[in-house]
Structure 1
Amino acid sequence: MTRTYQRARDLVLRGLRRFTNRMSLAIRVAVLTTAAVALTLTLVSATIFVTVRSEFESSLDESMLSRSEAGVTADLGTLFAGGVDPAALALTDIKVIVLRTGRGVLLGTPAISNFPVQFIGLPERQVALGQKSESVRTASLQGTPYRVVAVRSGPGEALVIAQSMESIEAALDRLQIILLLTSAAGVAIAGLAGWAVAANGLRPVRRLTAATERVARTVDLTPITVSGTDELARLSTSFNAMLAALDAAQTRERQLIADAGHELRTPLTSLRTNIELMGQATAQGQRSLSESEHREIMGDVRAQVEELTNLVGDLVELARDEPVRRDPEPLDLADVLDLAVSRVRLRTSEVVVEVAAESWMVVGEPQLLERGITNLLDNAVKWSPPGGRVQVALSGGVISVSDEGPGIDPGDLPHIFDRFYRSQEARTLPGSGLGLSIVKRAAERHGGRADVESAIGEGSTFTLSLPAASAEPT
C-alpha cells in the first residue's frame, strides 16, 4: 500500500514538473499569483462565514435565553394550565412547552403531543430533572433548522422554547453566494493582474534573452538599452559590461593575430630568401658561394630561426587568457636571477653585466620568473652601447636593471609593457615587442608589479617587485 502511494505521488510530481517546465516564466508567475490569492481568499471567506454564523447563533441564543427567563418570570406554565394555547405563539414562529416531572415521568403542559417530539431530547429532560440549569441546541423539523432553548422554571419543571432559524440560514446562504462570487472575481482579477505584472516586469528579461540569442546567432556585441535602477536594470548593466568585455577580448584577439602575422612575416621572408639563395647555389652544380658567404647565410638563418622560435614561444605564452597553472614552490629569487644573468652573458660579449643580489625568498613559478628576468636583461643589453654596462641589483624583493642606452621617449613610457608595442627607434632592431609584456605577466602572476623610469640620454631603469614568500601568488 505504501509503495503504491509513493509511486502515485512520484507520478503526480513528475507530471506537475513536466507541466510547469513547459510553461513560460510569465505564465508560472501568473499561476502562482493566482493560486496564492485563491488560497488567501478561501481562508478569508471561510473565516468570515464561520464568524458570521457564530455571531448569528450567539445573538439568537442570547435573545431566546432572555425571553425564556422572561417567560419563567411571567409564569407561562400557569397561563398554559389556565387555557392559553401554546399554538397561539406560532404567529411569532416560536414554539413553547412546559415540561414537568411526575414520579419520573415527564409531562407536557397542556399536551406534549402538540409539541414536536424533535424538540424534547436528553438536554431538555436534564434541565427538567434539575441536572442542568439551561440547555441550547439545534434540532431539525421537516428540513427546517430550529434553535431549542430550555431553562428551569421551577422544581421539577423546565420551560422549552424553539424558534426557526430559516431566516438566519437564508442570510447565511446569501452570504455564502456573495463570498463565492467575490472570491471568484478576486481570483480572476488576480490572474489577470499577475499576468500583466509578469509580462511587463519580465520585459527586460525577454530583452536580455533576445540579446543573448542575437549575440549567439550574429556575434553582434551591441549593448542593449538600460532603463531604471532596479535589479533587472543592474542585470542589464552587467550584461552590457559582459558584452563590452567580450568585444574587448575579440579586439585584442584580432590585434594579436594581426600583430603576430606582421611580426612573423619579416623573419619568415628573410628565412625563405636565404634558403632560396642557398638552393639556387646548390642547383648550379658548382659551388658559387664562398665559405665566408655560406657561414654568413647560415648564421643569418640560425638567427632568424632563433628569433622565430622566441616569437612563437612569446605568442603562446601571451595568447592565453590565463597562464598555465604550475604548482608554485618556495625559491630564492637570487638563484633565479643568477640563472638569467648566466644565460644572457652567454649571448653577449660586448656588454658587461654587473650583479649585486641579496637573498629574497618567494613562492612562485621558476620558469616564468626566469623568463621575465631574462627578458629584462636582454632588453637592457640590446639598448646598451658596445662596452657599456648593465647594472643589476636585487634588494628587498625588488630587481632593478639599469642600462646606458639612449633612454625612452616620455610618449612611449605608458605603452612600454603593451603587447607588440615598439617605439620608432626599436623598429630598426631585432625583437617582437613581446618581451616586456611577459615581464609584466610574470610580475602580476606573482602578485608584484613591473615599472620603468627613464630620461632621454641617461638610460633606463626597469624594476620587478615581488612580495615575500608569506604572500601567495595570484
Structure 2
Amino acid sequence: MSGPAPNGGAAGPDAAPGPGSAAGGESSRQGSAPHGHAPRTGRRARWPRLDEWTLGARFALIFALVAAVIIALLGSLAYSAAAALIRTDAQQDFDSTVENLARDVRNQTPNHDGSGSLRLLASESFTYQVLAPDGSLSFQFRPPQRLDYLPIDLVDRQVAAMDSVASVRTREDTSNGENYRIATVSLGGGTGAVQIGQRLSPMENMLGTLALQMLAIGGVVLVGAACTGWLIARRITGRLVRLTEAAEYVTSTGRLDLVAPDQGGGKDEVGRLGRAFNAMLARLTASKQDQRRLVQNASHELRTPLTSLRTNVSVLDRLERLSPEARRRLIDDLQGETRELTDLVSELVELATETRADEPAQEVALRDVAERVAARSGRRSGREIVVDADDSAVFGRPQALERALSNPVENALKFDPGGAQPVEIVVRGGRVEVRDRGPGIEPGELAHVFERFYRATPARSMPGSGLGLSMVQEIALSHGGRVFAYNRDGGGLAIGFDLPVLPPPGG
C-alpha cells in the first residue's frame, strides 16, 4: 500500500510546486531582466558552420568519424560473433546436459523419491529439481549458497504425470529475477519428472560486460583518432597558417619583401606551395621594381621633350615678330618633338602593358620578316637595305619579331644617315644580324645597350627614348633566344638576336 504513495505523491497536488516553481523561476528570471541586464536584442551566438571550422578541427572530425564508422562496424561484427559463439556454446551445453539426463532416466530404475540413481550435480549455471507425480516440487539439487526454485507450469505437471519415460519439454522462463532455459524430463509411469534449469543471466551479464569493454576501447580509440587527426592537421595546417599570415601581411601592407616561412624543404603540396609563394613574391618584387624604375626613367625621358615643347610654345606668343625662316624652324621643332614624344609614349605603353604578348604564336619564316622590315624601312628612309637570309624558321609572334628586327634597323639608319654603304640584314640558322657602317659604340658601353633608357654616348645628342633595344631583348628572351651587339671590323656596329629554329620539313 505504501508503494504507490511516492508515485501518487509525485503526481499529486503536493508535487505541483516542483515544476511550477521551475517555470516560475524561469518566468521570474525573464521578468527580472529589465531590472538587471538588458535583454539581448542582437544576433544570438550560433554554432559555426562546417565551412567556418579550422582545418585542424575538420581533420579531427573526419578522423573521428572514420574511426567511429570502423569501430562501429568492427565492434558490432566482433560482438555479434562472440555473442553467437557464447550463446551457441551455452545452448550446446544445455542440450548435452538434457540429453545425458534423458539417457540416465531411460537406463535407471527410479526409487521411491523418483530420482533413482541419477547423476544430478547442481552448479552456478545449472539448477535441478524433482517434481512429484502431481507436479508439485519434491526436492531440489542446488548449491549450498543458492535457493533458486524453477517455475512450474501446467505442461510441466502434465509431463510429471506421463507414463512414457524420458519425454522432454523445453522452454525459457523467468524466476527469482533470473532468466532460465528449462527442460522437464518425465520419469515415466506417472512417477514424476526431473527439471533442469540453465541460468542465462550470467551469460548475458558476461556479454554485457564484453559490450561495455568494447565500447570503452572504442571510445579510447575514437579519442585517439581525433587527437591523431588534430596533430596531423596541426602539423600540416601550421605551415598553411604561416603562409596565410604572409599573404595577409602582403595584402594589408603592400610590401613584397616578406619571404614566406621555410617549409622544411618538403616535397609535398604544402612545401611546393611555400616555394611557389616565395617565387611569386620574388616575381612581384621584381615586377614592382621594374615598374618603379620604368616610371622614374620615363619621367626623366619625358622631361626633355616636354621642356622643349613648353619653350617652343612660349615662343608662339611672339610668332608675328619671327622671320619666316624662324617660324619654319619653330614648326619643324614642334613637329619633331611631338613625334618623338608620341613614339616615346607608344613604346612606354607597349612596354608597360605588354600587349604584344596577346599575339598568337605560329611558324614564322625569318626571311619573310627581314624582307618586310627592309621594304618598309627603305621606303621611309630612301636608303638601301640588303637582305641575305636562309630558309630558317622559328615558332613565335610575327609582329613582335618584326618589331625586334625593325628597331635595330631604325637605329642603324639613324646613326648612319648619310652612309654610302647599305644596311645589311643577315639571317643564318636563326641568328639575325643588322649591320651598319656607322660610328659604332664604345667597348665599355656594349654591355649596356639593351638596358631600358640607356643611350650610348653618340646617341645622347640625337632624338630617341633608349627603349628600342630593350624591347628587342625582351622579345628575344620571350622567344627563348638571346641578344648580342659588337663592333664590326672596319667600323660600324652589328646588333641582333639568336632564336631556336624549327627543324626543316621532313627533317
TM-score, structure 1 normalization: 0.74
Inter-CA distance 31–329: structure 2 relative to 1 (3 Å threshold): closer
Deviation at 1:303, TM superposition (A): 1.5
Question: What does residue 278 of structure 1 align with?
Answer: 316
Deviation at 1:168, TM superposition (A): 1.4
Greater relative contact order, per chain length (Cα 8 Å cut-off, separation 6+)? 1
Q: Does residue 431 of the first structure (1) align with residue 451 of the second (2)?
A: no
**Secondary structure of 1:461's aligned partner:** strand
Question: What does residue 12 of structure 2 align with?
Answer: none
Q: Residues of 2 paired with 1:42 and 1:329: CA distance?
A: 62
Q: Does residue 30 of the first structure (1) align with residue 30 of the second (2)?
A: no
Aligned residues: CA RMSD? 4.3
Deviation at 1:203, TM superposition (A): 1.5
Q: Residues of 2 paired with 1:413 and 1:110: CA distance?
A: 131
**401, 409, 412: which one pairs with 1:377?**
409
Question: What does residue 102 of structure 1 align with?
Answer: none
Q: Does residue 302 of the first structure (1) align with residue 335 of the second (2)?
A: yes
Question: What does residue 298 of structure 2 align with?
Answer: 260
Residue by residue, what CA displacement relative to the aligned partner does 1:423-449 show, whole Å, maximum 9, x if unpaired?
34433432212112333344456x463
Inter-CA distance 331–234: structure 2 relative to 1 (3 Å threshold): closer
**Secondary structure of 2:466's aligned partner:** coil
**289, 297, 300: which one pairs with 1:251?**
289
**Secondary structure of 1:270's aligned partner:** helix
Question: What does residue 452 of structure 1 align with?
Answer: 484
Question: What does residue 180 of structure 2 align with?
Answer: 146
| One-letter identity of the residue aligned with 1:214 | Y
Q: Does residue 165 of the first structure (1) align with residue 208 of the second (2)?
A: no
| One-letter identity of the residue aligned with 1:462 | I
Deviation at 1:217, TM superposition (A): 0.9
Q: Residues of 2 paired with 1:198 and 1:362: CA distance?
A: 50
After TM superposition, list the pairs within 5 Å mapping 1:72-221 onto structure 2: 74-75=104-105, 78-80=108-110, 83-85=113-115, 94=126, 139-142=172-175, 144-147=178-181, 161-221=196-256
Residue by residue, what CA displacement relative to the aligned partner does 1:260-298 show, whole Å, maximum 9, x if unpaired?
11111111111221222232x23xxx52x3322222222
Inter-CA distance 87–357: structure 2 relative to 1 (3 Å threshold): closer
Deviation at 1:308, TM superposition (A): 0.9
**52, 74, 82: which one pairs with 1:52?**
82
Contact 1:448 1:464 in 2 (8 A): no
Contact 1:97 1:112 in 2 (8 A): no
Question: What does residue 344 of structure 1 align with?
Answer: 377
Inter-CA distance 366–164: structure 2 relative to 1 (3 Å threshold): closer
Deviation at 1:367, TM superposition (A): 4.2
**Secondary structure of 1:202's aligned partner:** helix
**Secondary structure of 1:432's aligned partner:** coil
Question: What does residue 43 of structure 1 align with?
Answer: 73
Q: Residues of 2 paired with 1:77 and 1:96: CA distance?
A: 19
Q: Residues of 1 paired with 2:248 and 2:289: CA distance?
A: 21
| One-letter identity of the residue aligned with 2:56 | A
Deviation at 1:224, TM superposition (A): 2.4
Question: What does residue 223 of structure 1 align with?
Answer: 259
Q: Residues of 2 paired with 1:425 and 1:377: CA distance?
A: 17
Q: Residues of 1 paired with 2:227 and 2:440: CA distance?
A: 74
> 231-240 or 214-223, which moves further after superposition?
231-240
Inter-CA distance 452–270: structure 2 relative to 1 (3 Å threshold): same
| One-letter identity of the residue aligned with 1:236 | G
After TM superposition, list the pairs within 5 Å mapping 1:351-362 onto structure 2: 352-357=384-389
| One-letter identity of the residue aligned with 1:184 | G
Residue by residue, what CA displacement relative to the aligned partner does 1:191-220 show, whole Å, maximum 9, x if unpaired?
344334433431211111121111111012
Aligned residue pairs: how many? 427
Inter-CA distance 215–346: structure 2 relative to 1 (3 Å threshold): same
Q: Residues of 2 paired with 1:465 and 1:47: CA distance?
A: 73
Residue by residue, what CA displacement relative to the aligned partner does 1:339-370 show, whole Å, maximum 9, x if unpaired?
43244334546x65333456777776554443
Deviation at 1:42, TM superposition (A): 2.5
Contact 1:118 1:140 in 2 (8 A): no
Contact 2:370 2:425 in 1 (8 A): no
Q: Residues of 1 paired with 2:155 and 2:448: CA distance?
A: 108
Deviation at 1:117, TM superposition (A): 6.3
Deviation at 1:61, TM superposition (A): 3.7
Deviation at 1:70, TM superposition (A): 4.4
| One-letter identity of the residue aligned with 1:393 | V
Q: Residues of 1 paired with 2:454 and 2:154: CA distance?
A: 108
Deviation at 1:313, TM superposition (A): 1.1
Inter-CA distance 201–353: structure 2 relative to 1 (3 Å threshold): closer
Inter-CA distance 190–368: structure 2 relative to 1 (3 Å threshold): closer
Question: What does residue 141 of structure 2 align with?
Answer: none
| One-letter identity of the residue aligned with 1:171 | M
After TM superposition, list the pairs within 5 Å mapping 1:231-242 onto structure 2: 231=268, 232-242=270-280
Q: Residues of 2 paired with 1:379 and 1:237: CA distance?
A: 42
Q: Residues of 1 paired with 2:153 and 2:347: CA distance?
A: 105
Deviation at 1:399, TM superposition (A): 3.7
TM-score, structure 2 normalization: 0.70
Q: Residues of 2 paired with 1:201 and 1:332: CA distance?
A: 52
Residue by residue, what CA displacement relative to the aligned partner does 1:111-145 show, whole Å, maximum 9, x if unpaired?
76667568989xx9xxxx9xxxx99x872323633
Deviation at 1:333, TM superposition (A): 5.1
Contact 1:97 1:109 in 2 (8 A): no
Q: Residues of 1 paired with 2:154 and 2:342: CA distance?
A: 113
